[in-house]
Structure 1
């Protein structure tokens, strides 16, 4: 007669794996460590899955092609863009005028600061760099799509856009304060 298996007693302190086991066939996911929403103590982390299908910045970060400072700078740029985008809208003359329409929302201090940071970022990156950052971070385009949009289809151009995008993220990391500039040590020339 086979022996009955002994069950281990329930241990509430043991970590739970809350990752979904049933992902879609065409899902593109990466593991990420996030704050535990069910934690009893602050600061507890769990491993979760995040979708990277329509998020080029998360894809680059999950494949370790950009570092944490570059990732956070890209997210800060996206946050500033969303804050600034919500501002006053233009009047649409094609719509019928209605009495008692709602007033326009005033520009908040947060929106004003976001626009100032975006303007500074555009000056720092230049026209080409800011267009590249805008295409990737706002429109969610890949390097291949950027090359096709500009009529440049070869792999060299894709590599160039990738390298240029990482340089722009470095500038944004400095601008947003996620990184500090490291001075290049000057080697003494001894003859």
Structure 2
């Protein structure tokens, strides 16, 4: 009996485009390469879609206005800020009521290290630079909004704030170890 010849192979490892085509009307998204969580080999990358609507640092990186080291330095600052922040906490109704007095939660070592790094960042950037970085990375303000808060509303001031913010991101990249001093000097000469 003759053997039946098959045209299709039974390989299941075909490439499929799994990117979403349906995004909301007012969405602001950018494509980004991330590590593949389902990869068998280490270092395998996939393309994912990231929302940049409420993320000024992600927007700058997606539009190639800052480089990878500046982006990672800004993310490290945001991570330290979130770790060190100890804001208002809700009352736990399951605990026994004792005159409203609550014992404070102990400060963890990671919180202590984050506060030390934030103190170093503030010393390195200065008061104005630290306030600018806080306004953009923590509060999510635009350069226009920063100008309005400081009562300066011209385009020249917006350009100054943007340039100063990039300088601060360069410094953050140095502090957190994503760039070297010689690399930033050479990049500064090329401009």
TM-score (structure 1 length as normaliser): 0.82
| Worse overlay, 43-52 or 70-79 | 43-52
Indicate the SS of the match to 2:19: coil
How many angstroms apart in 2 are the aligned matches of 1:48 and 1:69?
A: 20
Match of 1:44 in 2: 44
Match of 1:166 in 2: 166
Match of 1:153 in 2: 153
Match of 1:107 in 2: 107
How many angstroms apart in 2 are the aligned matches of 1:22 and 1:9?
A: 32
Contact 1:61 1:67 in 2 (8 A): yes
Q: In the TM superposition, what is the alpha-carbon distance from 1:38 to its structure 2 partner?
A: 2.2
Change (3 A) 1:102 1:13: farther
Count residues with an aligned counterpart: 174
Larger relative helix fraction: 2
Match of 1:24 in 2: 24
After superposition, give the CA deviation of every residue in 1:35-63 in whole Å (9 maximum; x if it has no partner). Answer: 12222333221101000000000000000
How many angstroms apart in 2 are the aligned matches of 1:177 and 1:123?
A: 17
Q: In the TM superposition, what is the alpha-carbon distance from 1:108 to its structure 2 partner?
A: 0.9
Structure 1: where are the runs of 5+ without partners? 1-6, 186-191
Q: CA RMSD in A?
A: 2.6
Match of 2:189 in 1: none
How many angstroms apart in 2 are the aligned matches of 1:156 and 1:45?
A: 41
Structure 2: where are the runs of 5+ without partners? 1-6, 187-191
